[in-house]
Chains A and B, each alone.
Chain A
Amino acid sequence: MRHLLLFIARLLVVAAVVGGWGLATKVAASPYFPPPSSIAATMYRQWFSGPASHLWLTGDATANLVPSLGRMLGGWAAASLTGVAIGVAIGRLRLFADLVEPIVHFGRAVPVPTLVPLFLFLWGIGTPMEVAAIAFAVIWPVLLNTIDGARHLDPVHVETARVFRLGPGQRLVWIILPAAAPKIFAGLRLALSLALVMMIISEFVGSTDGIGREMLQAQTNFDVAVMWAVITLLGLLGLLLNAAFSVLEHRVLAWQRGMRPAA
């Protein structure tokens, strides 16, 4: 009942904010601030008015949204796998950790946008350069969180693994990864929003398609409605990705609940 009330209250607030914004834009009548109704209409016309056989996506959507999302999720997945693999190695091997940790901490501190011109120089305009930019940003939170998670194992679990003579592979799957999973997921979530940012930056700098490219095109055409539509789409996309990630996290970490000591 409380949840339902809260849900209704939130719906009302969202409606009030959108309505208030709409009223303000009508009063101001500025060409730079189109009303929400026209932003929604532009989004529909631009991306979602296609034939049913294409899942209602327009040609513009398949030409721009699909490659953007593909690069983003591809770069995120590749960098996450690499980050977890190296992170477990650093977290479990003391000597290796001492050797590479200063390098890792410096690597994380480098703002990835400064590397984008370098990637552009090495790979030119196109997908490899964009995936590299996304992956280089994404890897650090995953790597650092995995190191942290893999380093602090429950000594009882470690002893149990020893008693049962688990091999290194079994220890990885049954002891290390489950123990590090909550930290890894926290890193993956941070990485997802970073991937979205780097997708836009890399497409601004060197791309022939994608959502960022569409934004620049709208800028050259002074098409304010499309610019607002792109921004709204990215907000909804972020909301959707976060929600999807929460569902995944909830599922994967389901065994964790109730195991954690009461704080």
Chain B
Amino acid sequence: MTPVLRRVFLGAAGIAAMFGATELALRVSGADATLFPLPSTVLAQTASLLSDSAFMAAVGSTMGAWAEAMAFTVAIAIPAGALLGLLPWAESALRPVIEFLRPIPSVVLFPLILLIVQSDARSEVVVIVFASVWPVLINTIYGFREVDPVAKETLRGFGFGPLAVAWHVSLPSAAPFIATGVRVAASLAFVVAIGVELIGVGLNGLGTFAGQEQGAADAVAIMIAVAIWSGIIGLVLNTVFVAAERRFFRWHHEQSSMARATT
């Protein structure tokens, strides 16, 4: 058996074992099904959510806020990061301000921003952007600082101005780092969107949907099913971004693995 096949086989066996053991334990012990739903019930519930129009609308709403926030994140963080990466003294001086703003849990801003902009949906986007700019900003700064000085000097030697050097050398060389930051931000933005939806009354995304089902007879099964779908969406987002990075920056990964092989 090839190692890959072995891992797929054992992984599937692990999932089946967990599923079977839980199902058996719950059936034998006769545990309260409202608190501890059977895995088979949860699975049926997960499948039936696909034909639930309210659930699909919630997914659409969350992903809409996500997409809008990601557009703002990219538009703000990449230029700002490029600037700070090109001007090391500015970055060094501003670092205390960044280190103070970055750890603030963005969700805590929601009540204040809601008071200012008076719209749950607008506030949601602002809060997501506040959380997701940091990984893109930091990675962009880092990427612009890691540019090969020889390449920059070469272009400068041919008489290119600083802007041309930034565009033709620094940006392409920083792009893989920026892409990694965007991937991290994409996952983070999705999580923060759901977090905001738990508290924003005027919202109707996945977080709202998860919170609304408290009164239903099979509330626990529905809530687990929502979590499962959220996990699947999270995995899909991550996979898409990783695949895009591999596709567009293959040269970068080959270079770095070569560098690793030679050192």
Contact = CB atoms under 8 A, between A and B. Distances in A.
Q: Do A and B bind each other?
A: yes
Interface of A: 6, 9-10, 12-14, 17, 32, 95, 98-103, 105-107, 109-118, 120-122, 193, 196-197, 199-201, 204-205, 211-212, 215-216, 218-219, 222, 224, 227-228, 230-231, 234-239, 241-242, 263
A32 B114 CA distance: 11
A204 B103 contact: no
B116 A115 contact: no
Contacts of A228: 112
B14 A205 contact: no
Contacts, number: 166
28 contacts: A9-B92, A99-B10, A99-B13, A100-B14, A102-B11, A103-B14, A109-B232, A111-B195, A114-B194, A115-B223, A117-B198, A117-B213, A117-B223, A121-B214, A121-B219, A197-B105, A197-B107, A200-B107, A201-B107, A204-B199, A205-B199, A218-B111, A219-B114, A224-B112, A227-B115, A234-B104, A234-B108, A238-B104
B144 interface: no
B108 A231 contact: yes
Interface residues of B, number: 60
A103 to B, nearest CB: 6
B89 to A, nearest CB: 8
A32 B118 CA distance: 12
Nearest to B111: A219
B155 interface: no
A236 B190 contact: no
A239 B210 contact: no
A193 B106 CA distance: 11
Contacts of B228: 110
Contacts of A12: 93
A110 B213 contact: no
Contact of B14 (A99, A110, A196): A99
B93 A121 contact: no
Interface of B: 6-7, 10-15, 17-18, 35, 92-97, 99-109, 111-112, 114-116, 190-191, 194-195, 197-199, 206-207, 210-211, 213-214, 219-220, 223-224, 226-228, 230-232, 234-235, 238, 263
A17 B97 contact: yes
A242 B99 contact: yes
A197 B106 CA distance: 8
Nearest to A228: B112
Contacts of A17: 97
B230 A111 contact: yes
A113 B104 contact: no
